[in-house]
Every structure is written in structure tokens, then in C-alpha cells.
């Protein structure tokens, strides 16, 4: 499967995260939600806990005794036990090996942040240069549309 780059422009990134996590869990996948810092993963942890009860997504922060059992594991470094899906936010690193090993890899970036867009372009070049397939999806028109594939 290709790495799916999601250029988020109309929604909040955390809302797209919740939507995609719900779909991944419905597929029966265990997901690694990967960010760059412990603080941001703690922020996502709070966001996921504070949502409506009917939308609760079972999850935990990496480093707990039950990491292997967590349907969604929030990490700031790649988890050594592979997961069926990896979702990278806020510029978290993704390798061609991650793409090859997972059922699904999403790379979400905030299209309103020029630095995030530049970073995502670099990730695209690095991943495709390493032989990974990639698709670029944008919601600029108000719904998700595939704009490029390599």
C-alpha cells in the first residue's frame, strides 16, 4: 500500500485523526499514532479522552505496561512492535520500511502551515526516492480528492 499524504486545509488535523482512527479500528487494525514530542502525544491523549462518550477511541500513551494491547498507541518514537497502521502527525518521521510493513500509513499535515507543507514535500521526496509508493490527497475543494500518485 502507498503512504497516504493528507493535506489538511478545511478541517482541524485532530478531527481528521479521529475520523481515520475510527475507520482503522473498524478494520480491526492496531494503530500507532506517531508525533514528534511526548507533550504533543499527551495533548492528543487528552483530546481523545475528552471527546463524546459515543466517539471514544480506546488508546494509550507509549511506555505503559499494556502497550501491546492498546488499539491505538500514541508514540513519539516508532514502536518496536509493528502495527497494522501508522498515522504520522506534525512532521513525525516515516520510513520506507514503515510503509512496506504496514497495511496503511497516513501522513497528515496542516496545509495552513507553510513549514508543515515544506516538511511533507521533503517526506514525499524521501519516501518515493526510497522506492515507497505514495498518494497525495487534498481537501481544498471541501472533500478529499486524490491529486497525485507515485
What's the length of the chain?
A: 150
The per-residue pLDDT for 141 is 84
pLDDT of residue 145: 96
Mean pLDDT for the chain overall = 93
Residues of the chain with pLDDT under 70: none
Q: Does an H or E element contain 4, and which?
A: strand 3-8
Task: State the span(s) of the chain assigned CATH 3.40.50.10110.
Answer: 9-93
Q: What is the pLDDT of residue 82?
A: 76
Please measure the distance between the N-terminal and C-terminal CA atoms of the chain and give it in whole angstroms.
12
- Using CA atoms, how far apart are residues 61 and 38, in angstroms rounded to an integer? 9
Interval 94-130: pLDDT, tens: 999 999 999 999 999 999 999 999 999 999 999 999 9
CATH code, residues 9-93: 3.40.50.10110
Give the number of other Cβ atoms within 10 Å of residue 68's Cβ: 10
Q: What are the grid coordinates assigned to 64, written together?
A: 505503559
Amino acid at each position: 500500500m502507498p503512504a497516504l499524504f493528507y493535506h489538511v486545509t478545511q478541517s482541524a488535523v485532530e478531527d481528521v485523526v479521529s475520523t481515520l482512527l475510527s475507520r482503522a479500528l473498524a478494520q480491526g487494525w492496531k494503530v500507532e499514532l506517531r508525533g514528534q514530542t511526548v507533550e504533543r502525544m499527551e495533548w492528543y491523549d487528552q483530546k481523545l479522552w475528552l471527546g463524546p462518550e459515543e466517539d471514544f477511541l480506546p488508546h494509550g500513551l507509549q511506555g505503559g505496561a499494556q502497550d501491546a494491547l492498546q488499539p491505538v498507541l500514541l508514540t513519539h518514537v516508532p514502536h518496536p512492535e509493528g502495527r497494522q497502521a501508522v498515522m504520522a502527525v506534525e512532521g513525525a518521521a516515516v520510513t520506507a520500511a514503515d510503509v512496506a510493513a504496514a497495511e496503511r500509513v497516513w501522513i497528515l499535515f496542516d496545509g495552513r502551515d507553510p513549514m508543515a507543507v515544506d516538511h511533507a514535500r521533503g517526506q514525499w521526496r524521501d519516501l518515493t526516492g526510497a522506492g515507497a509508493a505514495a498518494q497525495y490527497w487534498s481537501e481544498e475543494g471541501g472533500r478529499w480528492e486524490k491529486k497525485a500518485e507515485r
